[in-house]
């Protein structure tokens, strides 16, 4: 049955940044498909009906396919995929040292408090990319409470390198069932 709420698949949602993203998205009204190898039952209880666990090994293609199908069957839509490389609109969030439960406390203690990056800085960066569809191919460095955009470097081999990373529209259409719409795509 289709839901009216936006649905996000969050890989690694049972711990670390995935857990932080799952919590944040639920707080913003999203339904979250928690894709992970291991359950986090306390987190699932905390998030209630706004999140569901889907066992998935992201290193295994068939496991990914099964998870995507299960999410689609349950919710009738998928609006965002977090921490997943197969997204068409690709941006990168570059976190600093984020104090989560998966980091050893000794590591956190070794970093000056003003140099730690809170989970909220990371989730705000993801939300910025989710809400502003004009942002594509961007990298944002999260440093303490700041978002600092990295500028794309020049191609070191000029036109040769640029052509090597240009989209080939026939392949794009085969994979995504639509034209890329990129002005420099190879027809």
Instruction: Go through the domains of the chain in sequence order and give each one's CATH number.
Output: 1-86 (3.40.50.720), 88-152 (no CATH), 157-187 (no CATH)
* DSSP H or E segment with residue 16: helix 16-27
pLDDT of residue 140: 94
Mean per-residue pLDDT of the chain: 88
Confidence of residue 90 (pLDDT cuts 50, 70, 90): confident
Over residues 103-110, mean pLDDT: 88
Confidence of residue 37 (pLDDT cuts 50, 70, 90): very high
Q: What is the pTM of this model?
A: 0.58
Place of tokens 């955009």: 149
pLDDT of residue 169: 82
pLDDT of residue 86 exceeding 50, the answer is: no
pLDDT of residue 183: 81
Q: Which long-range contacts (CB under 8 A, 24 or more apart) does 130-137 make?
A: 130/80, 133/89, 135/91, 136/89, 136/90, 136/91, 137/90, 137/91
pLDDT of residue 74 exceeding 80, the answer is: yes
pLDDT of residue 103 exceeding 90, the answer is: no
Q: Report the share of the chain in percent with pLDDT over 90.
A: 52
pLDDT of residue 112 exceeding 70, the answer is: yes
pLDDT of residue 1: 61
């Amino acid at each position: 049955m289709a839901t009216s709420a936006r649905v996000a698949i969050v890989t690694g949602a049972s711990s670390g940044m995935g857990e932080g993203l799952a919590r944040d998205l639920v707080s913003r009204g999203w339904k979250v498909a928690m894709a992970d190898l291991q359950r986090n039952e306390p987190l699932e209880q905390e998030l209630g009906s706004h999140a569901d666990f889907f066992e998935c090994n992201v290193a295994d293609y068939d496991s990914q396919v099964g998870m995507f199908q299960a999410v689609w069957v349950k919710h009738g839509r998928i609006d965002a995929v977090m921490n997943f490389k197969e997204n068409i609109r690709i941006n990168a969030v570059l976190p600093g040292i984020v104090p989560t439960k998966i980091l050893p406390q000794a590591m956190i203690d070794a970093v000056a408090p003003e140099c730690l990056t809170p989970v909220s800085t990371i989730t705000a960066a993801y939300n910025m990319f989710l809400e502003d569809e004009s942002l594509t191919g961007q990298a944002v460095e999260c440093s303490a409470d700041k978002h600092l955009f990295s500028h794309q470097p020049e191609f070191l081999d000029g036109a040769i390198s640029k052509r090597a990373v240009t989209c080939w529209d026939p392949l794009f259409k085969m994979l995504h069932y639509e034209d890329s719409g990129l002005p420099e795509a190879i027809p």
